[in-house]
Structure 1
Amino acid sequence: MRLKISLPFVFLLWLVTNLAYAAVEVTDDSGQLVHLAKPAQRIISLSPHLTENLFATGAGDLIVGTVEYSDYPAAAKQIPLIGGYNQLDIEGILALEPDLILAWHSGNPLAQVERLAGLGIPVYYSEPRSLAGVSHELRQLGRLTGREATAEQAAQAFDAGAEKLKKRYAQQREVRVFYQVWEQPLITLNGEHLISEGLSLCGGVNVFADLKQLVPVISREAVLEQDPEVIMGGGIKEGEGEKDPAWLIHWQKFTAMQAVKANKLYFIPPSLVQRPTPRFLEGTQIMCDKLQQARNH
């Protein structure tokens, strides 16, 4: 018996097949237009936050290589490493035959990334610096990988979570906060940084918001002069310092500071707030809880 296939069915099959391999164009965070002949199938991720965001969009299975500290979710630990975010193994990357490289614009060695782009590998530069930037990146990665539906769900959930936090803490008393990013040299962040926006959701005020640099180096004297009500900071190194409050201990000798006198020194797991990913809301909730604790103290 011969199977009859109708013309509408043939057309539908052709349409679905071609849509699956349709060309993709997106503009990355550097303003560059990225063109793919079809959704990416072999991706190199050059930052832990990009690895995490790919998994959030349902495209983690497309990653063929990533960098050190790409440790979330657990499946990310099984991906071959091609160096660190600040030093890449070019030969190792080429051997993996990627059809897309996701790069961290301010964190990766641009000369090495540009060399890869010069070899004809499409590069998407990531630099989300706001809550809206995180959900935007999720949607962009969804387009690049053909996982739009999952990416849209992740983006909507993130936006809804941010709005929920905003409403919950909108009427709380403002608390002046010094957020420490690094110890030597002493580094903080200005008001344009994502962490600063997270603090704002909680009713926190970044005492160094007006500085021009995104992650400025400051003096200990500058912190003493600001005399914040709260000091927050992470560990020694992301991935190794998730439970290490050593930086905070260094402030305890400055007993004249408000934060020290009232013991308002709070540890924040760095991977939850220093990566622009959906888990940033978990880190923001911790910051909100600490600020509420400071208000009630």
Structure 2
Amino acid sequence: MRLRLARAALAALAALTVWSGLAGAAPVTVVDDAGRRVALARPAQRVVSMAPHVTELLFAAGGGARIVGAMSYSDYPPAAKAIPLVGDNSQIDIERVLALKPDLLVVWQSGNTARQLEQLRQLGIPMFYSEPARMSQVADSILRLGRLLGTEASARAASAAFSADIAALGARYGKRPAVKVFYQVWDKPLYTLNGQQVASEAMRLCGGENIFAALPVKAPSVGIEAVLQANPEAIVGSVPYGPLDAGLSMWAPYTTLLAVRNGNLITLDGELLTRPGPRLVQGAAILCEKLELARQRRR
């Protein structure tokens, strides 16, 4: 009797295993950020990430172990540093990509070269275009990538946590008195971001106003005089990249500038605000705290 029960249990376990394998191998379909339908015969097992933000999204979706190749500067989370590199924004090593035998490429339309993306597309490797421009799209990207990877449970948890944290920041800071902000991408020449960038949305979340939000170009070059005329209450920029990068110290001589006068030159890790990935929550939280300090320093 016990033997028959044991055999029945083993048979049931085997059936469950087969069923699980078949479920894991079921076809999956999503729509990417270019509006294209991406269909896989089964969840992706070997993924090449074509941008640092994509690498972060894939890890958040529970697929870090499936990434077999990545682009330069894919440095977060720390495990990403061990992934073999396949190029940078200006040049993709297509031979190396093919040698990795990927079953999914997650590409960045704005950052990867169109000519090489077309070459890869013609080779028939499924491609997902990642171009999240809003925080809600970051959350949705995690869900869609999780579906392509077959890691939906992990992706749902990460997406929900991201959305909840963003909502909490908005509820706390979104209706605070407005702070005019200049976001400095680079100092020579002086570059900023317009309102279409996710960093600008982070400013709005914190009750900040991007002084150049209305400019048509996503990353426009602006003059010092234009910044002085707008007279922002806070200037936000990244940690200097090297000794030749003046960073926010370039504004110190402009003592009539409100941001300088009130001590609101805010330096932070720019990747936390400009990479459209899960760490946007951290960047936005830091920015919100800094802008709240700027309000307290009003005279």
State TM-score, norm by structure 1. 0.92
Find the counterpart in structure 2 of residue 187 from structure 1.
191
Tell me the equivalent position of 1:38: 42
The number of residue pairs the alignment matches comes to 293
Q: Does 1:161 align with 2:174?
A: no
Is residue 261 from structure 1 mapped to residue 265 from structure 2 by the alignment? no
Corresponding position of 1:295: 295
The answer as to 2:30 corresponding to 1:29 is no
Amino acid at match of 1:256: T
**Corresponding residue number in structure 1 for 2:110:** 106
> How much does 1:9 deviate?
7.1
**2:187 and 2:245 in contact (8 A); partners too:** no
Which of 26, 38, 60 is equivalent to 1:56?
Answer: 60
C-alpha separation in 2, matches of 1:5 and 1:235 = 61
Alignment of structure 1 residues 133-172 onto 2, 5 Å: 133-172=137-176
TM-score with structure 2 length normalisation? Answer: 0.92
- The residue number in structure 2 matching 1:218 is 222
Distance 1:170 1:142 in 2: 30
- Which runs of 5 or more residues in structure 1 are unaligned? none
- Whether contact under 8 Å (1:235, 1:246) holds in the other structure is no
Bigger mean CA deviation after superposition, 89-98 or 255-264:
255-264
**8 Å Cα contact 1:66/1:82 also seen in 2:** yes
Contact 2:90-2:113 at 8 Å conserved across structures: yes
Matches within 5 A, 1:68-87: 68-87=72-91
Distance in 2, matches of 1:62 and 1:6, equals 31
- Residue 120 of structure 1 aligns with an amino acid whose one-letter code is G
Match of 1:131 in 2: 135
* Higher mean C-alpha deviation, range 250-259 or range 6-15: 6-15
Which stretch of the first structure deviates more once superposed, 215-224 or 192-201?
215-224
The secondary structure found in structure 2 opposite 1:54 is: helix
The answer on whether the counterparts of 1:178 and 1:208 sit within 8 Å (CA) in structure 2 is yes
What RMSD over aligned residues (CA atoms) do the two structures have, in Å?
Answer: 2.1
Per the alignment, do residues 105 and 10 of structure 1 end up closer, same or farther by CA in structure 2, a change over 3 Å counting? same
| DSSP-derived class of the 1:249 partner | helix
Structure 2 gap segments, 5+ residues each = none
- Distance of aligned partners of 1:278 and 1:6 in 2 relative to their CA distance in 1, 3 Å threshold: closer
**How many Å apart are 1:11 and its aligned residue?**
6.2
Tell me the secondary structure at the aligned position of residue 253 of structure 1: coil
* Aligned partners of 1:232 and 1:265 also within 8 Å: yes
Structure 1 Cα separation of the partners of residues 10 and 289 of structure 2 = 62
Displacement, 1:8?
A: 7.7
Partner Cα separation in structure 2 for residue 45 and residue 285 of structure 1? 27
Contact map agreement 1:176 1:206 (CA 8 A) in 2 = yes
The offset of 1:245, in angstroms, is 8.1
* Residue equivalent to 2:24: 20
CA distance in 1, matches of 2:240, 2:72: 16
1:275 paired residue number:
275
Distance 1:88 1:69 in 2: 14
Q: Runs of at least 4 residues of structure 1 off by over 4 A? A: 4-14
Aligned 1:192-203 pairs, distance under 5 A: 192-203=196-207
